[in-house]
Amino acid sequence: MIIFPNAKINLGLRVLRKRDDGYHELETVFYPVPLQDALEIIPLAPAERTSSFPFSLSGAEVKGRLTSNLCVRAYKMLKKDFPRLPKIKMHLHKVVPSGAGLGGGSADAAFTLALLNKMFSLNISLEKLIMYAAELGSDCPFFMINKPCYATGRGEVLEEIRLDLSGYNLVIVNPGIHIDTGLAFLNFIPSLPGKKIKEIINRPVEHWKDELQNDFEKGIFHTHPEIGEIKNLLYRAGALYASMSGSGSTVYGIFPPPIIPGLSFPPHYFVRHLPGQLQ
């Protein structure tokens, strides 16, 4: 069976404080976008069953060992609690850039949990799936819901909100720069307290520019000015709102119809023009 894990963008991101448990208290809005990987899971026939886990990758580069991939970890997590879960082989084709602030790895893990639950009739509730997802990463619970959500805590406390960007065009640009999330947190520059992101999002998109901020931008743009220049180019091309997603390095622009900007970036940049809503 094949499933298509999609990416997300962050609409605003505030880092409020460092918590006693070492995590940071965040405020953001997660918005799903139609940029997708492909994940295939096939039960192993008795003759194929081995002690190893047949997991393979294609497409965009994914750093790290295969055995530590979030999809593999998701399977092993469920296998521990559901010993009857059969052995499988899994193939992941990557389109969403890794380490780019788009939640690609988190989406793959969450969709793995959901697909295993469906394929093998594990009857795990959504609430329990969200709990499993939270053990794999702060962004993972969002992808169990996969609808626009106001997120607090470390990103796992979610509230569905009404937000529809289907009438807009999105441009997503990744310059191929890997941003270490841990270093991003060390160097972030917080914004002054103001309106909650949930309140700002309720205003028309053309009003977001002056109020909807990503606290990571100043520090990362200082270290990597080419990322900040992408944002400037999107605004010059007519974007109503442009921002870095998460801790970077992807920058996106929201354009009103009928604008589909003819932008020019270096050939190694990852650039996609997308509709503003999952199909």
Active site positions, annotated: 8, 139
- Spatial neighbors of 31 by CB under 8 A, at least 6 apart, are 8, 9, 10, 11, 148, 163, 165
Residue 98: name the closest of 46, 57, 141 by CA. 57
DSSP state of 43: E
SS3 273: strand
CA end-to-end span of the chain? 20
Residue 271: name the closest of 244, 245, 243, 251 by CA. 251
Q: How many CB atoms lie within 10 A of CB 119?
A: 16
Cα–Cα distance, 77 to 6 (Å, whole number): 22
Amino acid letter for position 245: S
Residue 202: name the closest of 166, 155, 161 by CA. 161
Q: Are 88 and 44 in contact (CB under 8 A)?
A: yes
Cα–Cα distance, 52 to 112 (Å, whole number): 18
Cα angle value 187/192/196 (rounded, 5°): 110
Amino acid letter for position 137: G
SS3 195: coil
